[in-house]
Amino acid sequence: MKKVLGLLEGRVLTVQCELLISLRRVLEGRSYRLQHPWVGIVNRSQADINKNVDMIAARQREREFFATSPDYGHLSSKMGSEYLAKLLSKHLESGIKARIPGIASLINRSIDELEAELDHLGRPVAIDAGAQLYTILELCRAFDQIFKEHLDGGRPGGDRVYGVFDYQLPAALKKLPLDRYLSLQNVRKVISEADGYQPHLIAPEQGYRRLIDGALNYFRGPADASVDAVHFILKKLVRRSIVETQELKRFLTLQAEIAAAASEALERFREDSKKTTIRLVEMESSYLTVDFFRRLPQEAEKGGNPVASSADRYTEGHFRRIGSNVFSYIGMVSETLKNTIPKAVVHCQVREAKRSLLDHFYTQVGKKEAKQLAELLDEDPALMNRRQQCAKRLELCKSARDEIDSVSWSR
């Protein structure tokens, strides 16, 4: 170890004259140089200690010794325990100054790490009921925002709703057993039974209506299936959004409540959507597009097929023509419903899910007491303890940083 400071004790300083010159040269730094100067001190002797001479008196005697000594008087300002203490303090201060940047850097790095860990764990929950309610609403809004991003395209999943309308619904409409329903045998049966004992005179209007009503009943299935498919997608997006809401991860009870409230709302939207889509089908059955049937005789005449006379009213060709006409009309209605069913589903389910998924839940939360709000924000005790320890360490680190920043080090 490199020696940087020398110390000569009082008994050495009081030796006989043959060494005084050498000692004085040492203290003056001429015979043995150090990085820092030599310091001479006069300690209490064992006799002084036995006599209970206190340190104040000993320091006073030390100052008098150097001030009155003919050999060390010229060095008295740089001798003694008091000067040694100042010299060592200055030396220690310099060492601390040199290490301050490294210490500050370590503290700042620790603060960043602790704050990141606290962000991951979540900040402590407030005790005040108003603050707890605010926290719950903020967590719900965070979930709701992520859910909307899934629907609007910011996150994956919402595109599956489009897939229902673009692929599943058209495929389901194509698979309807209309060919079997409008077979020659079934058309003859429906037409024959439609008028009872009084046969139709000109056109079998009642038979047409019965055939159309029966065919339109098949559209209920695809309509319901579209509603259920979108409902399943929305429920899945709710579960995914809860998982992706980082702020909710530590509140398992609140997660379950949000999931239940969202599921309940989606069920209401589904029921409303089913009523609306079925109403669309019933509307087509309630009022037929008259112009379609008015054009049939004209088109038949243009095509060289005059309207059936009363003589061929019950021939096979007559029933085939009726089946063909009904099939064409149902095809037109199918194209209409292929466009209106998606609109009804989006309006009743997707749009409402974006607008008011948790509205009922907000109302219920606003009515809860402080104890019930606290129950929604309950946490794992181990996680709470971990957060508390991190918070204490962070407070200590910040206090240390403030202490360092507040010290004005002289240069």
* 395, 319: one domain: no
Question: For the segment 374-393, what is each residue's pLDDT rounded down to a tens digit?
Answer: 888 887 777 778 888 888 89
Total structural domains in the chain? 3
* 107, 206: one domain: no
- Is the sign of the CA dihedral 152, 156, 159, 161 positive or negative? negative
Q: What type of residue sits at position 376?
A: L
* 389, 368: one domain: no
Question: For the segment 130-153, what is each residue's pLDDT rounded down to a tens digit?
Answer: 888 999 999 999 999 999 999 988
Q: Does residue 106 form part of some domain?
A: yes
Higher-confidence residue of 332 and 92: namely 332
Query: What does the alpha-carbon distance between residue 372 and residue 365 come to, in Å, rounded to a whole number?
Result: 9
Rg for the chain, CA atoms, rounded: 48
Residues 226, 342 contacting (CB under 8 angstroms): yes
* 237, 145: one domain: yes
CA proximity to 322, closest of 155, 185, 229, 128: 185
* 399, 367: one domain: no
Checking if the pLDDT of 11 tops 50, the result is no
* Tokens of residue 411, six digits: 């240069």
- Collapsing DSSP states into helix, strand and coil, what is residue 160? helix
* Tokens of residue 127, six digits: 């005790």
Question: For the segment 169-217, what is each residue's pLDDT rounded down to a tens digit?
Answer: 999 999 999 999 999 998 888 887 876 656 654 567 788 888 999 999 9
CA proximity to 368, closest of 93, 136, 89: 136
* 181, 271: one domain: yes
CA proximity to 275, closest of 341, 191, 360, 180: 341
pTM of the model: 0.66
Q: Does residue 86 form part of some domain?
A: no
Q: Does residue 365 form part of some domain?
A: yes
pLDDT at 223: 96
Q: Does residue 84 form part of some domain?
A: no
* 171, 111: one domain: no
- Collapsing DSSP states into helix, strand and coil, what is residue 358? coil
Domain that holds residue 384: 100-125+380-411
Q: Does residue 72 form part of some domain?
A: yes
* 130, 120: one domain: no
* 114, 184: one domain: no
CA proximity to 108, closest of 386, 394, 390, 392: 394
Q: Percentage of the chain surpassing pLDDT 70? A: 82
* 398, 371: one domain: no
Residues 110, 33 contacting (CB under 8 angstroms): no
